[in-house]
Chains A and B, each alone.
Chain A
Amino acid sequence: MIEQVAIIGVGYSGYRSLTPDLSYKEMMFEAAVRAYQEAGIDPRADVDGFVTVAEDYNEGTSIFDEYVPDQLGGVLKPVHTIGGDGIHGLIAAYMQILTGAMDIVVVEGHSKASNILTKPEIMAFAMDPVFNRPLAAHPYFIAGMEMQRYLFETGTTPLQCAQVVVKNKANALQNPIAAHPANISPEEVLFSAPVAEPLTQLEIAPHADGAIVMVLASEKTARALSDAPIWIRGVGWCNDTFWLESRSWSEAWYARLAGQMAYRMAGLRSPRYDLDLAEVDDTFAYKELQHMEALGLCQPGEAGILTEEGATEITGDLPINPSGGSLGCGHLLDASGLARVLEVVWQLRGQAGPRQVEDAELALAFGWRGLPTTSGAAIVLSN
């Protein structure tokens, strides 16, 4: 029998498209202070371990974990870094508490994307150095090809993809911390600059700066410290192939397996009806639809239709990305998964203000590691 673990405090800094006034250390500190205050803990006295998610090339620093402990209050404590999405970090902390050796563990993720002058080049450095990098193509071509194949196999239309952007950016208007909210039309999305056919400029989540910190605790401690703990019901993560040449181009297999693992742990049989909302990766507009299908929230080819019909709106049957997602909030690099979880925590606590989903009790967050990877992580949470 797996013991219960809860999120008892969350904090953030940002999200903003530019943050010339703060260093990443200051952003981490701001987010950490908020999370510690909410959880009512002192990091020096109460926290048993710290986990950060980061990637060296995004940071511009090799062995980035060196720069983690000071701002979090983690000096001379068990601190480590996971090269993964924010939800991978949450899962690492979750497992540490489940061992019984740790009681309170803190997770941190951040993005200082505005400092990165060469994002496409860095992304290209994630491609196989022998077989793919010499093509010297902008990695967005992978998204373009995948979107093409997805549309072809599922019958989803470009208009339906554009409607994801319209929905998410409109949701972000209700979210005070979103960096890229907008009131736009599907036509504006469809006729924005083509990037890698059929993918257009406005279908790509723009980057943002931000830091997110979460405090996790074992059941006993969570009940003692918090009036509204958000319980982790299930986690799942999975890695598909690195090879462009042998992956599935239409289905997000990694998301399907990650979702199945998380649902099995949470005891969910029909996620579509059990879940009250989901925050899923939407780095590209079609990814939201592809991930919804892989995660069993609908049948293949159905996600676009549901979006068209409004079922994925905040007021719909199956609200997806009420926060605005990465398209509306901004893509926070390795912290994107934590941004999805942050919204789920607020929704389950009933703190989401004008974008609150009614009677939200059980929700899913799903993160993807971005191009050219096929790694995803899922977490099911309840209040």
Chain B
Amino acid sequence: MSKRRVAIVGAGMTKFVRRAQETGKELAFQASKMALDSCELTLDDIGAVCLGTAPDAFDGVHMKAEYLSDGAGALGKPYMRSYVGGGTGVFAVIQGWYHVASGLFDTCLVVCEEKMSSCQPHPQGAFLTIFDHTTERALGPNLLWIFALEMNAYMTRYGLDKRDIALVSVKNKRNAADHPCALLGDPNITVEDVLNSEVLAWPVQRLDVSPISDGAVAIVLAADHVARRVTDKPVWIEGVGWSLDTAYWTNRDLSYPTYVEEAARMAYKMAGITEPRKQIHIAEPYDPFDYKELHHLEGLLLADKGEAPRLTADGVTQRTGDLPVCPSGGLLGVGNPIAAAGLMKVAEIFWQLRGEAGARQVPGNPKRGVAQAWGDLMQVGTVVVLGV
């Protein structure tokens, strides 16, 4: 529906690690440099820079975008930071898309960085301040608690067993063993390992969760005429969608992510997708927790409500299955530097559609993929559809 076609022409990614030696600026620089080098462009060719990063409290820096600006290559350029919590990584692409699709810029560098390990003693402390100051914060809630509520609601609604959900963690951590930037890849992990891991907030156990991580990812966007000049393998942004639900999450049905469905419908409409299950060949839904991959597959209309666990058990979501899901290894396997993890998903679809995913490459020359992220108080969905 947009008047101007926008393509991804380059991508770069740092290793995701628990405690990076680099500062956030350096991580952003490394990813940006790799992305530019990958398409043989320099900062002089870049019209605008978009940055995605989650709460300022991780770094303890007010106006974090300003602080990261030089690392992101934004000196003397139009520069803008968006944030929608965990949804930021995919939203940053949407922001870059409207920079180029509007006609204002021919190229845009999109950078997502997260340095969570500098938050001492633990980033959970920063998350305590995301709750409503009057109604919720006084209770001292922890993020894991509300995700436990949601996971429980999902399991109860559809009569699921923990084993049904643990399969996601196993699949993704095994997939990540093939990812050179992964923090948590493990080719030998089993369902029993997940079920026997420490209980954090029932039913959430340690291996159901992607822990904190540091890292950065960058991509280069270009308008049609530039993209064709820069590369013979542009990957087009065919549709984008985003949706934010109410802040009063206590009033919602936690077993289904309506906000993801809204975002997906917007992106599918723009991409001209009428039957997502047939027209999408590969998916990277957001999986900071294993049940979220299932949740999001349903929200993305790639599975009926309550059916995603069965697809997983049947192997449909394996790399060799009908619908490969998180072939990268996802957040559970590659790691979860929040905003960077979302952009990692977009970069993965980019590499998969170009056939450049190496050992992670899904068979059958996929032509269209979807990446999605989620965040805030379980209320935001961001979706990008890519195609070749």
Interface residues of A (CB under 8 A from B): 2, 55-57, 60-63, 65-70, 74-84, 88, 91-92, 94-96, 98-101, 122-123, 125-126, 128-130, 235-243, 253, 257-258, 261, 369, 372-375
Please judge, given known A-B contacts A62-B126, A65-B376, A242-B69, whether A122 and B62 are in contact too, CB under 8 Å. yes
Contacts of B75 in A (CB 8 A): 239-241
Q: Do A126 and B66 touch (CB < 8 A)?
A: yes
Q: For the complex, give the distance between the alpha carbons of A57 and B263 in Å.
A: 28
Q: Do A125 and B99 touch (CB < 8 A)?
A: no
Binds A, one of B32-40, B51-59, B301-309: B51-59
Q: Do A95 and B99 touch (CB < 8 A)?
A: yes
Closest to B81 in A: A83
Q: Do A92 and B266 touch (CB < 8 A)?
A: no
Main secondary structure of the interface of B (DSSP, over half): mixed
Return the contact of A65 from the options B69, B84, B246 (Cβ within 8 A): B84
Contacts of B244 in A (CB 8 A): 65, 68-69, 74-80
Q: How far is the CB of B3 from chain A (nearest CB, A)?
A: 4
Contacts of A67 in B (CB 8 A): 132, 247
Q: How far is the CB of B150 from chain A (nearest CB, A)?
A: 15
Q: Do A238 and B77 touch (CB < 8 A)?
A: yes
Please judge, given known A-B contacts A62-B126, A63-B85, A128-B67, whether A237 and B78 are in contact too, CB under 8 Å. yes
Q: For the complex, give the distance between the alpha carbons of A372 and B4 in Å.
A: 37
Contacts of A372 in B (CB 8 A): 66
Q: Do B79 and A237 touch (CB < 8 A)?
A: yes
Q: How far is the CB of B27 from chain A (nearest CB, A)?
A: 15
Contacts of A261 in B (CB 8 A): 78
Closest to B131 in A: A61
Return the contact of A100 from the options B1, B127, B380 (Cβ within 8 A): B1
Q: Do A56 and B76 touch (CB < 8 A)?
A: no
Closest to B249 in A: A66
Contacts of B61 in A (CB 8 A): 125-126, 129
Q: Do B70 and A241 touch (CB < 8 A)?
A: yes
CB of B270 closer than 8 Å to a CB of A: yes
Q: Do B133 and A82 touch (CB < 8 A)?
A: no
CB of B95 closer than 8 Å to a CB of A: yes
CB of B139 closer than 8 Å to a CB of A: no
Contacts of B3 in A (CB 8 A): 99-100
Q: How far is the CB of A75 from chain B (nearest CB, A)?
A: 5
Q: How far is the CB of B306 from chain A (nearest CB, A)?
A: 21
Q: For the complex, give the distance between the alpha carbons of A309 and B97 in Å.
A: 47
Closest to A69 in B: B244
Q: How far is the CB of A101 from chain B (nearest CB, A)?
A: 5
Contacts of A63 in B (CB 8 A): 54-55, 83-85, 130, 375-376
Q: How far is the CB of B46 from chain A (nearest CB, A)?
A: 13
Q: Do B70 and A243 touch (CB < 8 A)?
A: yes
Contacts of A2 in B (CB 8 A): 103-104
Please judge, given known A-B contacts A76-B258, A84-B81, A242-B69, whether A96 and B102 are in contact too, CB under 8 Å. yes
Closest to A95 in B: B102
B218-243 to A contact mask, C-beta < 8 Å, 1/0: 00000000000000000000001111
Contacts of B77 in A (CB 8 A): 238-239
Q: Do A69 and B65 touch (CB < 8 A)?
A: no
CB of B98 closer than 8 Å to a CB of A: yes
Q: Do B98 and A239 touch (CB < 8 A)?
A: no
Q: For the complex, give the distance between the alpha carbons of A127 and B256 in Å.
A: 42
What are 25 A-B contacts with C-beta separation under 8 Å? A61-B129, A62-B127, A63-B85, A65-B84, A65-B380, A66-B377, A76-B243, A76-B244, A77-B244, A79-B242, A80-B95, A83-B64, A83-B65, A84-B80, A92-B95, A92-B98, A95-B98, A95-B101, A99-B98, A125-B61, A126-B61, A129-B59, A237-B78, A243-B70, A261-B78
CB of B60 closer than 8 Å to a CB of A: yes
Closest to B72 in A: A239
Q: Do B63 and A83 touch (CB < 8 A)?
A: yes
CB of B328 closer than 8 Å to a CB of A: no
Contacts of B380 in A (CB 8 A): 65
Please judge, given known A-B contacts A78-B266, A99-B4, A237-B78, whether A369 and B66 are in contact too, CB under 8 Å. yes
Q: Do B62 and A62 touch (CB < 8 A)?
A: no
CB of B74 closer than 8 Å to a CB of A: yes
Q: For the complex, give the distance between the alpha carbons of A237 and B66 in Å.
A: 13
Contacts of A69 in B (CB 8 A): 244-247
Q: Do A126 and B102 touch (CB < 8 A)?
A: no
Contacts of B55 in A (CB 8 A): 56, 62-63
Contacts of B84 in A (CB 8 A): 63, 65, 80-81
Q: Do B62 and A125 touch (CB < 8 A)?
A: yes
Q: Which residues B255-269 have CB closer than 8 A to chain A?
A: 258-259, 262-263, 266
Q: Do B66 and A238 touch (CB < 8 A)?
A: no
Q: How far is the CB of B52 from chain A (nearest CB, A)?
A: 10
Q: Which residues B331-388 have CB closer than 8 A to chain A?
A: 375-377, 379-380
Contacts of A99 in B (CB 8 A): 2-4, 97-98, 101-102
Contacts of A240 in B (CB 8 A): 75-76
Return the contact of B82 from the options A82, A91, A243 (Cβ within 8 A): A82
Contacts of B129 in A (CB 8 A): 60-62
Q: How far is the CB of B21 from chain A (nearest CB, A)?
A: 14
Closest to A238 in B: B78
Please judge, given known A-B contacts A65-B376, A67-B247, A241-B75, whether A83 and B82 are in contact too, CB under 8 Å. yes
Q: For the complex, give the distance between the alpha carbons of A39 and B263 in Å.
A: 26
Q: For the complex, give the distance between the alpha carbons of A55 and B64 in Å.
A: 9
Contacts of A243 in B (CB 8 A): 70
Q: For the complex, give the distance between the alpha carbons of A220 and B374 in Å.
A: 34
Contacts of B63 in A (CB 8 A): 55, 57, 83, 126, 369, 373
Return the contact of B245 from the options A76, A81, A101, A253 (Cβ within 8 A): A76
Q: For the complex, give the distance between the alpha carbons of A94 and B85 in Å.
A: 23
